[in-house]
């Protein structure tokens, strides 16, 4: 428990850093949300009119004041309102979260199934054509950008073959291609880690002992080796979860899916500062939280590890 | 010749791309209306047919079905038109809300809708509207003068954030709205607002249920939108879609439209699809029945017999390669003229970035924005293509070739072109560089996202840029870019005569009088050579042939009241 609390306390400066970094990035890249709002309306707009809006949004305040205001409100759970839609940012996050979590979890499930299967196959059949093929697939996975893979999948499976919807869609048919595109890279990393970890474990004395006791190879692998090989894999899974959340930003746009990623991309395009800041902060919190859970989970997998 | 062939193959599946001559032949009653001519042209295919067929349409055409429309970011901000600044949002809302007036795209005339008639005072400062009786909003609230006043008061609330409609209502020229009796309302202005009746036809000035606005408060336009129109709001899922459904009790419809009563479609869905090619593919796969596309997509449509391309002359300014005349190089009139002389606009329109669509630009406003499509009074200031002449002009001005690039006093004729990356991707920037190189000039293309571009333009941090605006009130757009002192007038143009003519046009009580000042003003702007008036652009849509009776409104956006899907 003390370990968990320590980690939670340590998360505070991380959150602070993330919020500060996001705030500075947003304000130092070019772009005036108010000019973006008013240009192209087919009519003249006065500087006073634009200034009034800037005042209302607090954009005329000095940057440190703007940041402190954001921080003060964020601590109270108020991430502000969207500049474009005036909707509370926290409501926007909650509205978009289920779709992104659905995609992220589906991608993770896919990555785990494919990654662990390929990794095990490569380790057990080390040096054979299976090993080479599995690692080639893993190499493909880490080499292909997810947006490119996404476009390729749409082109082949949606446009050419017509098996899946082109413009998103609900239900499992709309989830398969984006989950594959997003999870493929993670599966490759997991496969390589499972292979390396399993090969290490298979050389340990207790595996030799298990085999000497006459256990079947299946029981040796699944009961003894895989469980002990899982700890480094679990670490990677935690890290990959953050990667998948970040990847959703791109994949949701490619597959025209609703979610936190689309919300963030739209916010960044329109310099909707509160949404971008709040969204990034939220993703950072989820990332830290997931990694904390992974750390705590070590003890479950290997009782010798005590987090206290 | 190649252009004609290509255009014809598209035209067969369109409602018709119109030549300048054809456009000019379609006169409008209200000349400043952008798409009146434009849609007169595009709707020509529909317009003539629908005038005959619409009376019987409600009974005769297939009923029901779900129409999906794929657009990029269809709701830019909110569906609350009192606060929105998004054009496409206004076009969606127009299916839910009804307006006081209806501008007939076929001829530009202003027709009664929720206002049965109106009177305008001679000085143009007072408008009295006599309202239609018996109209109910979707929530059962009756439509009356109080509802109109509540809407206009909401738009002009000094404490609220102004959106597009604030300007449409006259901004600082607006004085107030007064209820005369239950079905009569008076709107007063401090100074004339000649385009008021036109603006009253825009989706932005549609009349919302005052009850719904009060109940929803800040959520209005996000969780609900209640009007009296042919479609009811169902839901808006941001980043995904807007769903509207048929209003079975609808008995309205502007009389001039040709029919009244419920619309044939059961549901209308606007899907948010950022990528143009994905939008096109969604129509080819029949996941959507209408989508906006860009010229580079057009070749993929050719040869497809289940879809058609619809080209609608854009309501707004010409697409202009504007100069920043504060740049020392571009302060030289010879350089500005020479750049114009090297751009072969006819050839340019054949390139993939245009795919044969659009017309060579002449003035800052395209021909579909001016009375009778007639730019003849300013055409004399257009600078024709003349490569040899450009070279001679630059030589004479002392800009001599040093290698491939001309220079004078150590300054090379290389111009920073600040643009959106999407324009570079669309193929409408690099060809200009190619033209310039023919005469020893060059572009340094600096591309970024829309924010980078707006920032560069607003701060005057550019030498050239590609600029345009969408809209249909000519004077507003000329003022926006060319009246000195305006926030987006950053070309360095400072001409007191131009400013004076713009001010006089703004103060004119009627649109006809506005044009008496505006046309000479446009001529003066052309004489200043503020940029290359690139091309008069078209909005391109691809539509499934299942979609019939598709109409386009006065600013060139599709209007689905009356549209149906063939079974």
Q: How far is B472 from chain A (nearest CA, A)?
A: 7
User: Residue A171 falls within a domain, yes or no?
Assistant: yes
B238 and B368 co-located in one domain: no
In which domain, by residue range, is A30 found? 2-62
A22 and A134 co-located in one domain: no
User: Residue A81 falls within a domain, yes or no?
Assistant: no
Residue B499 to residue B482: CA distance in whole angstroms = 8
Predicted local distance difference test score (pLDDT) of residue B4? 35
Residue B431 to residue B417: CA distance in whole angstroms = 12
Asked if B469 contacts A27 with a C-beta cutoff of 8 angstroms, the reply is: no
**Residue A45 binned pLDDT confidence (cut-offs 50, 70, 90):** low
pLDDT higher than 50, residue B17: no
Average pLDDT for chain A: 84
DSSP B112: E
Predicted local distance difference test score (pLDDT) of residue B250? 94
Q: How far is A293 from chain B (nearest CA, A)?
A: 31
User: Residue B45 falls within a domain, yes or no?
Assistant: no
Q: Which residue has the tokens 């002990």?
A: A228
CB atoms within 10 A of CB B9: 15
* The Cα angle at residue A61 between residues A56 and A67, in degrees rounded to 5: 105
Angle subtended by helix axes B430-437 and B333-342, to nearest 10: 110
Quote the distance between the C-alpha of residue B72 and its chain's center.
Answer: 16
Predicted local distance difference test score (pLDDT) of residue B49? 29
Residue A241 to residue A245: CA distance in whole angstroms = 6
| Residue A193 burial (C-beta neighbours within 10 Å; 0-12, 13-18, 19+) | buried
User: Residue A87 falls within a domain, yes or no?
Assistant: no
B186 and B266 co-located in one domain: yes
User: Residue B332 falls within a domain, yes or no?
Assistant: yes
In this prediction, residues B111-122 reach a mean pLDDT of 95
User: Residue A308 falls within a domain, yes or no?
Assistant: no
Task: Locate B244 and state its tokens.
Answer: 């509207």
Cβ pairs A/B, distance under 8 A: 158
Q: How far is B66 from chain A (nearest CA, A)?
A: 15
B26 and B131 co-located in one domain: yes
A197 and A111 co-located in one domain: yes
A54 and A192 co-located in one domain: no
A150 and A25 co-located in one domain: no
Q: Which residue has the tokens 């502007």?
A: B254
Q: How far is B532 from chain A (nearest CA, A)?
A: 19
* The Cα angle at residue A90 between residues A88 and A94, in degrees rounded to 5: 120
CA nearest to B188, candidates B153, B146, B158: B153
**Residue B302 binned pLDDT confidence (cut-offs 50, 70, 90):** confident
Confirm or reject contact between B281 and chain A (CB < 8 A). Answer: yes
- A126-171, pLDDT tens digit by residue? 888 888 888 888 888 888 888 889 989 988 998 889 898 888 666 7
Beta B66-71 vs B267-272: how paired, if at all? parallel
A163 and A242 co-located in one domain: yes
Average pLDDT for chain B: 87
Q: How far is A82 from chain B (nearest CA, A)?
A: 9
User: Residue A210 falls within a domain, yes or no?
Assistant: yes
User: Residue B113 falls within a domain, yes or no?
Assistant: yes
| DSSP-derived secondary structure for A23-56 | HHHHHHSS--HHHHHHTTSSS---HHHHHHHHHH
The residues with which B142 forms a beta bridge, in sequence order, are B136
From chain B, pick out residues whose CB is under 8 angstroms from the CB of A258: 237-240
Length of chain A: 308
Taking 3-state DSSP, the helix, strand and coil percentages for chain B, each rounded to the nearest 5, stand at: 35, 25, 40
What is the model's pTM? 0.82
Residues 6 or more apart whose CB falls under 8 angstroms from that of B564 comprise B57, B61, B62, B63, B65, B264, B265, B547, B548, B549
**Quick one: what percent of chain B has pLDDT higher than 70?**
90
* Record: contact A53-B222, CB cut-off 8 A: no
What 3-state DSSP class applies to B120? strand
What is the CATH number for B555? 3.40.190.10
From chain B, pick out residues whose CB is under 8 angstroms from the CB of A47: 487
* Record: contact B285-A159, CB cut-off 8 A: yes
In which domain, by residue range, is B287 found? 3-30+63-314+539-565
B70 and B98 co-located in one domain: yes
Residue B116 to residue B113: CA distance in whole angstroms = 6
CA nearest to A236, candidates A201, A197, A284, A202: A197
Confirm or reject contact between A147 and chain B (CB < 8 A). Answer: no
A181 and A238 co-located in one domain: yes
Confirm or reject contact between B266 and chain A (CB < 8 A). Answer: no
Predicted local distance difference test score (pLDDT) of residue B44? 26
User: Residue A77 falls within a domain, yes or no?
Assistant: no
The number of domains in chain A is 2
CA nearest to B479, candidates A42, A148, A159: A42
Predicted local distance difference test score (pLDDT) of residue B535? 97
Helix/strand number for chain A, H first, E second: 13, 0
Residue B311 to residue B468: CA distance in whole angstroms = 18
User: Residue A231 falls within a domain, yes or no?
Assistant: yes
B74 and B120 co-located in one domain: yes
In this prediction, residues A199-208 reach a mean pLDDT of 85
Q: How far is B410 from chain A (nearest CA, A)?
A: 31
Which residue in A41, A165, A252 is closest to B164 by CB distance?
A41
pLDDT higher than 70, residue B464: yes
Half-sphere exposure of B521 (CA within 13 A, CB side): 31
Residue B194 to residue B207: CA distance in whole angstroms = 20
CA nearest to B115, candidates B6, B256, B319: B256
The number of domains in chain B is 2
**Quick one: what percent of chain B has pLDDT higher than 90?**
65
What is the CATH number for B465? 3.10.105.10
From chain A, pick out residues whose CB is under 8 angstroms from the CB of B469: 39-42
Asked if A101 contacts A286 with a C-beta cutoff of 8 angstroms, the reply is: no
B261 and B359 co-located in one domain: no
B452 and B470 co-located in one domain: yes
| DSSP-derived secondary structure for B342-387 | H--HHHHTTSTTTTT-SEE--SSS-GGGSGGG--TTTGGG-----H
* The Cα angle at residue B413 between residues B409 and B405, in degrees rounded to 5: 90
Predicted local distance difference test score (pLDDT) of residue B59? 56
Residues 249-288 of A with CB under 8 A from B: 252-254, 256-259, 262-263, 266, 269-271
What is the CATH number for A159? 1.10.3720.10
User: Residue B274 falls within a domain, yes or no?
Assistant: yes
Residue B356 to residue B311: CA distance in whole angstroms = 11
What 3-state DSSP class applies to B470? strand
User: Residue B391 falls within a domain, yes or no?
Assistant: yes
Q: How far is A74 from chain B (nearest CA, A)?
A: 21
Show the beta-strand stretches assigned E in B157-230. Answer: 174-181, 184-189
Confirm or reject contact between A160 and chain B (CB < 8 A). Answer: no
A230 and A169 co-located in one domain: yes
- A67-116, pLDDT tens digit by residue? 898 888 888 888 888 888 888 999 999 999 998 989 999 999 999 999 88
A238 and A191 co-located in one domain: yes
Query: Which of B239, B472, B478, B483 is the mutation pick for testing A, counting most A CBs within 10 A?
Result: B239
Task: Locate B441 and state its tokens.
Answer: 């000039």
A130 and A33 co-located in one domain: no
Which residue in A36, A47, A86 is closest to B454 by CB distance?
A36
B253 and B354 co-located in one domain: no
Which residue in A45, A166, A266 is closest to B487 by CB distance?
A45
Residues 140-199 of B with CB under 8 A from A: 161-162, 164, 166-168, 171-172
B550 and B471 co-located in one domain: no
Predicted local distance difference test score (pLDDT) of residue B23? 32
* Record: contact B488-A39, CB cut-off 8 A: yes
User: Residue B559 falls within a domain, yes or no?
Assistant: yes
Confirm or reject contact between B507 and chain A (CB < 8 A). Answer: no
B356 and B309 co-located in one domain: no
* Record: contact B77-A37, CB cut-off 8 A: yes
Quote the distance between the C-alpha of residue B352 and its chain's center.
Answer: 23
Asked if B438 contacts B387 with a C-beta cutoff of 8 angstroms, the reply is: yes
Residue B225 to residue B93: CA distance in whole angstroms = 8
Confirm or reject contact between B337 and chain A (CB < 8 A). Answer: no
Confirm or reject contact between A43 and chain B (CB < 8 A). Answer: yes
Task: Locate B552 and state its tokens.
Answer: 């386009």
**Residue A306 binned pLDDT confidence (cut-offs 50, 70, 90):** low
Please report the ipTM that was assigned to this predicted complex: 0.77
Predicted local distance difference test score (pLDDT) of residue B51? 34
User: Residue B38 falls within a domain, yes or no?
Assistant: no
DSSP H stretches of helix in A203-225: 205-212, 217-219
From chain B, pick out residues whose CB is under 8 angstroms from the CB of A152: none
A114 and A245 co-located in one domain: yes
CB atoms within 10 A of CB B368: 31
B376 and B498 co-located in one domain: yes
B143 and B165 co-located in one domain: yes
**Residue A289 binned pLDDT confidence (cut-offs 50, 70, 90):** confident
Confirm or reject contact between B483 and chain A (CB < 8 A). Answer: yes
**Residue A43 binned pLDDT confidence (cut-offs 50, 70, 90):** low
- B400-422, pLDDT tens digit by residue? 999 999 999 999 999 999 999 99
| Residue B20 burial (C-beta neighbours within 10 Å; 0-12, 13-18, 19+) | middle
pLDDT higher than 80, residue B490: yes
Task: Locate A306 and state its tokens.
Answer: 């005590």
In this prediction, residues B485-507 reach a mean pLDDT of 93
From chain A, pick out residues whose CB is under 8 angstroms from the CB of B219: 87
User: Residue B103 falls within a domain, yes or no?
Assistant: yes
Predicted local distance difference test score (pLDDT) of residue B350? 94
* Record: contact B473-A42, CB cut-off 8 A: yes
Predicted local distance difference test score (pLDDT) of residue B267? 97
Residues 6 or more apart whose CB falls under 8 angstroms from that of A13 comprise none
- B41-91, pLDDT tens digit by residue? 332 222 222 333 444 455 578 899 999 999 988 998 899 999 888 888 999
Task: Locate A149 and state its tokens.
Answer: 């893979």
Residue B557 to residue B105: CA distance in whole angstroms = 11
Residue A187 to residue A193: CA distance in whole angstroms = 10
Minimum Cα–Cα distance from A262: chain B residue = B239
Confirm or reject contact between B77 and chain A (CB < 8 A). Answer: yes
From chain A, pick out residues whose CB is under 8 angstroms from the CB of B236: none
Predicted local distance difference test score (pLDDT) of residue B325? 97
Higher-confidence residue: B170 or B268? B268
Asked if B381 contacts B527 with a C-beta cutoff of 8 angstroms, the reply is: yes
- B135-170, pLDDT tens digit by residue? 999 999 999 999 999 999 999 998 888 888 988 898
CA nearest to B309, candidates B338, B332, B276, B333: B276
- Which range is least confidently modeled, B16-20, B214-218, B488-492, B539-543? B16-20
């Amino acid at each position: 428990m003390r370990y968990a609390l320590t980690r939670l306390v340590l998360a505070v400066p991380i959150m602070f850093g993330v919020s500060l970094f996001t705030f500075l990035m947003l304000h130092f890249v070019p772009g005036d949300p108010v000019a973006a709002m008013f240009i192209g309306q087919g009519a003249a707009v006065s500087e006073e009119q634009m200034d009034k809006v800037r005042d209302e949004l607090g954009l005329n305040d000095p940057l440190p004041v703007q940041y402190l205001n954001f921080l003060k409100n964020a601590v109270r759970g108020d991430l502000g309102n969207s500049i474009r839609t005036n909707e509370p940012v926290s409501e926007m996050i909650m509205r978009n979260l289920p779709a992104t979590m659905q995609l992220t979890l589906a991608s993770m499930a896919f990555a785990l199934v494919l990654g662990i299967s390929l990794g095990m196959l490569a380790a057990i059949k080390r040096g054979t054509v299976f090993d080479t093929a599995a690692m080639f697939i893993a190499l493909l996975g880490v080499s292909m950008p997810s947006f490119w893979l996404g476009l390729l999948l749409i082109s082949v499976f949606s446009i050419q073959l017509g098996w899946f919807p082109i413009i998103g869609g609900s239900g499992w048919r709309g989830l398969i291609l984006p989950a594959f595109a997003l999870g493929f890279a993670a599966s490759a990393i997991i496969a390589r880690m499972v292979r390396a970890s399993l090969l290490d474990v298979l050389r340990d004395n207790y595996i030799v002992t298990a085999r000497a006791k006459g256990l079947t190879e299946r029981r040796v692998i699944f009961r003894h080796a895989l469980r002990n090989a899982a700890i480094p894999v679990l670490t990677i899974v935690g890290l990959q979860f953050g990667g998948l959340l970040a990847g959703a930003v791109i994949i949701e746009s490619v597959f025209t899916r609703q979610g936190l990623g689309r919300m963030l991309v739209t916010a960044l395009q329109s310099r909707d500062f509160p949404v971008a800041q709040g969204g990034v902060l939220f993703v950072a919190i989820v990332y830290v939280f997931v990694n904390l859970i992974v750390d705590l989970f070590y003890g479950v997998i290997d009782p010798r590890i005590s987090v206290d | 010749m190649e252009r004609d062939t290509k255009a014809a193959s598209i035209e067969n599946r369109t409602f018709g791309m119109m030549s300048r001559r054809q456009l000019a032949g379609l006169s409008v009653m209200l000349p400043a209306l952008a798409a009146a001519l434009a849609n007169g042209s595009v709707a020509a295919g529909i317009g003539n047919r629908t005038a005959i067929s619409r009376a019987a349409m409600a009974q005769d055409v297939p009923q029901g079905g779900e129409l999906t429309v794929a657009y990029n970011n269809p709701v830019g901000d909110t569906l609350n038109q009192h606060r929105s600044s998004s054009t496409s949002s206004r076009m969606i809302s127009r299916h839910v809300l009804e307006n006081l007036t209806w501008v007939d795209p076929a001829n530009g005339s202003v027709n009664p809708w929720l206002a049965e008639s109106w009177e305008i005072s001679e000085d143009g400062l007072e408008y009295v509207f006599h309202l239609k009786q018996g109209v109910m909003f979707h929530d059962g609230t009756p439509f009356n003068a109080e509802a109109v006043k509540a809407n206009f008061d909401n738009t002009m609330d000094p404490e609220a954030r102004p959106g597009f409609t604030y300007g449409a209502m006259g901004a600082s020229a607006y004085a107030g709205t007064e209820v005369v009796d239950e079905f009569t309302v008076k709107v007063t202005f401090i100074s004339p607002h000649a385009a008021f009746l036109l603006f009253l036809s825009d989706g932005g000035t549609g009349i919302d249920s005052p009850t719904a606005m009060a109940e929803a408060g800040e959520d209005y336009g996000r969780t609900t939108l209640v009007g009296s129109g042919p479609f009811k709001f169902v839901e808006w899922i941001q980043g995904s879609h807007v769903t509207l459904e048929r209003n079975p009790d609808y008995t309205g419809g502007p009389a001039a439209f040709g029919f009244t009563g419920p619309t044939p479609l059961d549901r209308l869905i606007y899907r948010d699809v950022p990528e143009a090619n994905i939008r096109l593919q969604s129509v080819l796969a029949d996941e959507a029945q209408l989508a906006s596309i860009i010229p580079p997509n057009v070749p993929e449509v050719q040869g497809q017999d289940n879809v058609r391309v619809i080209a609608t002359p854009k309501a707004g300014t010409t697409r202009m390669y504007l100069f920043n005349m504060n740049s020392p190089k571009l302060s030289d009139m010879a350089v500005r003229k020479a750049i114009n002389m090297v751009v072969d606009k006819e050839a340019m329109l054949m390139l993939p970035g245009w795919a044969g669509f659009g017309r060579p630009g002449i003035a800052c406003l395209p021909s579909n924005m001016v009375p009778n499509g007639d730019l003849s009074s300013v055409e004399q200031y257009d600078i024709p293509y003349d490569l040899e002449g450009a070279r001679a002009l630059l030589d004479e001005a002392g800009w001599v070739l040093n290698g491939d690039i001309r220079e004078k006093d150590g300054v090379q004729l290389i111009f920073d072109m600040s643009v959106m990356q999407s324009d570079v991707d669309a193929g409408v920037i690099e060809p200009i560089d190619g033209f310039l190189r023919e005469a020893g000039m060059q572009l340094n293309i600096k591309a970024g996202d829309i924010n980078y571009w707006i920032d560069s333009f607003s701060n005057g941090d550019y030498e050239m840029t590609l600029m345009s605006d969408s809209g249909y009130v000519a004077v507003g757009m000329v003022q926006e870019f060319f009246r000195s002192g305006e926030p987006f007038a950053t070309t360095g143009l400072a001409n007191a005569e131009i400013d004076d003519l713009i001010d006089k046009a703004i103060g004119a009580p009627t649109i006809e009088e506005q044009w008496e000042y505006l046309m000479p003003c446009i001529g003066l702007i052309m004489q200043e050579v503020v940029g290359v008036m690139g091309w008069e652009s078209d909005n391109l849509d691809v539509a499934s042939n299942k979609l019939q009776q598709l109409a386009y409104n006065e600013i060139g956006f599709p209007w689905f009241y009356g549209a149906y899907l063939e079974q």
